[in-house]
């Protein structure tokens, strides 16, 4: 039967060769690195990093994943998947434990338990999936596969043999006789009395009363054997050789690395890509923040309603209200120039733009009420960084080298996000350099968000639109953190300079009083 995947359509069975092995640099600027670490942090055993660091390049796979995610929004199905994951972790824990055991039949016994747990887990999963209404191609394909698998001759034979051996072993009864000098012998059980019952009766008068101090404590569960227990087991095997011969043959047929089906193991890992994200965003949803399944297209008509910065929301959830923002691009519009007062939400807006596009490219819901986004090839960011004392270049030189690399690597399908570049130079030089870069971006015809204090950039043609961080109309010093479409008002640079050099009205008043 064809190998199923809940991440990739049937014709795409391998991840792209350019799979990221580590967090891309732009995720640091977008503050998504810490968000992704939080998403996958509790599921390290599944190695989800490559899935979260590999943006998709085709719309079909994006919608394929959206279908699976919509299925998993069914609480009943999600609960079944979480139960499956918990049971499979027990199987893996058994297998890891076996590696640490010393005695042969102790290992074989736990291997039998691992096989039985695996078979029960897969059977339960098939039963649960058959009871759920599935709509996604990924989940339907997997359900068909798991149903065929549990009814296959190989699976039925394995579970039949394991069950038969377990029953045979459970019927073994023996007596351990401890003689003088600590000599231990083992014989078949012949109906002898159980002395533990008599012992309990004898010592019952020493049970704790209500006023006695309780010395009961939990003992750590042991899975291994002492050398004495191993010797007793050796005697038991001599008394009942056939069940243990069956166990030995079973372990020769089904080895530690081949008894679990590859497709089941792949599903176990891949499905956690969705579960991790759903568990992460559940707290956002409970607080009233919106998420949606975006429309992803090859054209550059964008429309996002009530979007927000996930990194900011994650760090301040429950502490302060998150402001939602909109943006759209139509016709020939490609570049959003964002101006406005400092600390007014401009950088947050730019990060939101990148975050929404990135998570959309993974096939996941995005942080907005409604979204239509572009299928990009790469995201490039240029945010201010702390100066590196090992780097002998000036800040301006470093800015120029970084932006030069971006412009050389970007294509018409790229997204460029620039935040306050050339802040270390004069206004005149900043305008000249910024206009040159803007001309190059316009030639590329790529999407761009540019946060700047230079209003002139917002007036460089029909491809450029202006958005401005707004303030309270009653008090211009109060930021609303709303970014709206309107012409740059020419005050952003003046205000930022006044704040930088303590020349605001309030600061001047303070100095006059002194």
User: Are 7 and 51 within 8 A, CB to CB?
Assistant: yes
* Predicted pLDDT of residue 5: 94
DSSP secondary structure, 183-220, as one string: -EEEEE--S---HHHHHHHHTGGG---TTSPP---PPP
User: Across residues 53-63, what is the average pLDDT?
Assistant: 95
- Tens of pLDDT, residue by residue over 334-382, are 999 999 888 889 999 999 999 999 999 999 999 999 999 999 999 999 9
Both tokens assigned to 40: 């996958």
User: Across residues 5-10, what is the average pLDDT?
Assistant: 92
DSSP state of 481: E
- Give the number of other Cβ atoms within 10 Å of residue 32's Cβ: 23
* Predicted pLDDT of residue 181: 76
Residue 390: pLDDT above 90? Answer: no
**Is residue 175 classed as helix, strand or coil in its secondary structure?**
strand
For β-strands 447-451 and 335-339, DSSP reports them as parallel
Residue 244: pLDDT above 80? Answer: yes
Both tokens assigned to 51: 């899935």
**Domain assignments of the chain as residue spans, ordered by start:** 1-7+54-172+240-285, 173-204, 287-513
Q: Helices in 445-481 by DSSP H: which ranges?
A: none
**Is residue 317 classed as helix, strand or coil in its secondary structure?**
coil
User: Are 356 and 470 within 8 A, CB to CB?
Assistant: no
- Tens of pLDDT, residue by residue over 182-211, are 788 888 888 877 777 777 888 876 765 555
DSSP state of 182: G
- Mean pLDDT over the full length of the chain: 89
142: phi then psi, degrees, rounded to nearest 5: -70, -40
Residue 222: which pLDDT band, with cuts at 50, 70 and 90?
A: low
Lowest-pLDDT range of 64-68, 196-200, 265-269, 297-301: 196-200
Longest Cα–Cα distance of the chain, Å, equals 105
* Predicted pLDDT of residue 317: 82
Q: Which residues contact 217 (CB under 8 A, 6 or more apart)?
A: none
Q: Which residue, among 116, 121, 120, 113, has the nearest Cα to 94 in the 3D structure?
A: 113
Q: Which residue, among 362, 268, 269, has the nearest Cα to 310 in the 3D structure?
A: 362
Q: Helices in 391-502 by DSSP H: which ranges?
A: 395-409, 427-444, 492-500
- Tens of pLDDT, residue by residue over 453-477, are 899 999 999 999 999 998 877 777 7
Query: Which H, E and C letters describe 290-303, residue by residue?
Result: CCECCEEECCCCEE
Name the helix (H) or strand (E) containing 147.
Answer: helix 137-150
- Model pTM score: 0.87
User: Are 478 and 471 within 8 A, CB to CB?
Assistant: yes
156: phi then psi, degrees, rounded to nearest 5: -65, -40
Name the helix (H) or strand (E) containing 467.
Answer: strand 464-472
Q: What is the Cα–Cα distance from 468 to 16, expressed in whole angstroms?
A: 39
Dihedral sign, Cα of residue 8, residue 10, residue 15, residue 17:
negative
DSSP secondary structure, 337-401, as one string: EEE-STTSSHHHHHHHHHHHHHHHHTT--BSSSEEEEE--S-EEEE---PPPTT--S-HHHHHHH
265: phi then psi, degrees, rounded to nearest 5: -65, -40
Q: Which residues of 139-155 are buried (b: 16+ CB within 10 A; e: fewer)?
A: bbbbbebbeebbeeeeb
Q: What is the Cα–Cα distance from 106 to 229, expressed in whole angstroms?
A: 10
Residue 228: pLDDT above 80? Answer: yes
Own/partner contacts of 279-285, CB < 8 Å, gap of 24 or more, are 279/42, 280/38, 280/39, 281/365, 283/317, 284/310, 284/313, 284/317, 284/367
* Predicted pLDDT of residue 21: 54
**Is residue 18 classed as helix, strand or coil in its secondary structure?**
coil
User: Are 367 and 313 within 8 A, CB to CB?
Assistant: yes
Lowest-pLDDT range of 15-19, 275-279, 397-401: 15-19
* Predicted pLDDT of residue 20: 53
Give the angle 434-437-438 at the CA atoms, nearest 5°.
85
* Predicted pLDDT of residue 172: 92
Q: Which CATH number fits domain 287-513: 1.10.3230.20, 3.40.50.300, 3.30.1360.120, 3.40.800.10?
A: 3.40.50.300
Both tokens assigned to 511: 């100095």
* Predicted pLDDT of residue 382: 94
């Amino acid at each position: 039967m064809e190998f199923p995947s809940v991440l990739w359509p049937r014709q795409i069975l391998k991840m792209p060769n350019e799979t990221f092995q580590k967090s891309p640099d732009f995720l640091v600027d977008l503050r998504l690195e810490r968000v992704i670490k939080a998403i996958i942090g509790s599921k390290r055993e599944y190695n989800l990093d490559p899935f979260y660091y590999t943006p998709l390049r085709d719309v079909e796979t994006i919608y394929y994943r959206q279908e699976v995610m919509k299925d998993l929004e069914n609480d009943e199905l999600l609960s079944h998947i979480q139960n499956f994951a918990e049971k499979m972790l027990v199987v893996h824990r058994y297998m890891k434990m076996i590696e640490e055991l010393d005695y042969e039949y102790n290992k074989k016994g736990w291997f039998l338990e691992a096989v039985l747990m695996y078979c029960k887990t897969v059977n339960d999963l098939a039963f649960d999936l058959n009871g759920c209404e599935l709509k996604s191609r990924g989940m339907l394909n997997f359900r068909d596969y798991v149903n065929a698998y549990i009814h296959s001759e190989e699976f039925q034979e394995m579970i039949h043999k394991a069950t038969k051996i377990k029953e045979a072993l459970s019927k073994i009864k023996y007596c351990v006789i401890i003689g003088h000098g600590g000599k231990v012998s083992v014989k078949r059980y012949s109906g002898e009395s159980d002395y533990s019952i008599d012992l309990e009766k004898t010592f019952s008068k020493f049970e704790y009363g209500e006023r006695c101090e309780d010395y009961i404590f939990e003992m750590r569960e042991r899975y291994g054997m002492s050398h004495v227990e191993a010797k007793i087991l050796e005697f038991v095997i001599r008394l009942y050789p056939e069940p243990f011969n069956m166990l030995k043959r079973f372990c020769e047929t089904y080895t530690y690395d081949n008894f679990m089906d590859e497709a089941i193991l792949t599903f176990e890992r891949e499905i956690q890509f969705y579960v991790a994200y759903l568990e992460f965003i559940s707290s956002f949803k409970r607080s009233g923040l919106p998420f949606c399944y975006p429309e992803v297209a090859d054209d550059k008509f964008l429309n996002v309603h009530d979007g927000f910065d996930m990194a900011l929301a994650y760090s301040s959830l429950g502490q302060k209200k998150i402001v939602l923002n909109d943006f759209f691009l139509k016709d020939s519009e490609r570049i959003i120039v964002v101006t406005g007062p400092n600390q007014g939400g401009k950088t947050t807006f730019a990060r939101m733009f990148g975050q929404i596009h990135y998570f959309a490219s993974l096939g996941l819901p995005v942080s907005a009420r409604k979204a239509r986004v572009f299928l990009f090839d790469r995201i490039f960011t240029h945010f201010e960084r702390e100066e590196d004392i090992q780097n002998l270049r000036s800040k301006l030189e470093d800015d120029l080298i970084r932006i030069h690399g971006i412009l050389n690597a970007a294509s018409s399908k790229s997204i460029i996000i620039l935040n306050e570049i050339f802040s270390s130079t004069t206004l005149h030089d900043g305008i000249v350099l910024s206009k040159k870069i803007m001309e190059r971006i316009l030639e590329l015809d790529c999407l761009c968000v540019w946060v700047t204090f230079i209003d002139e950039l917002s007036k460089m043609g029909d491809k450029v639109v202006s958005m401005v961080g707004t303030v309270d109309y009653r008090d211009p010093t109060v930021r609303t953190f709303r970014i709206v479409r309107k012409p740059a008002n020419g005050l952003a640079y003046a205000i930022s300079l006044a704040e930088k050099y303590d020349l605001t009205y309030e600061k001047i008043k303070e100095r006059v009083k002194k």
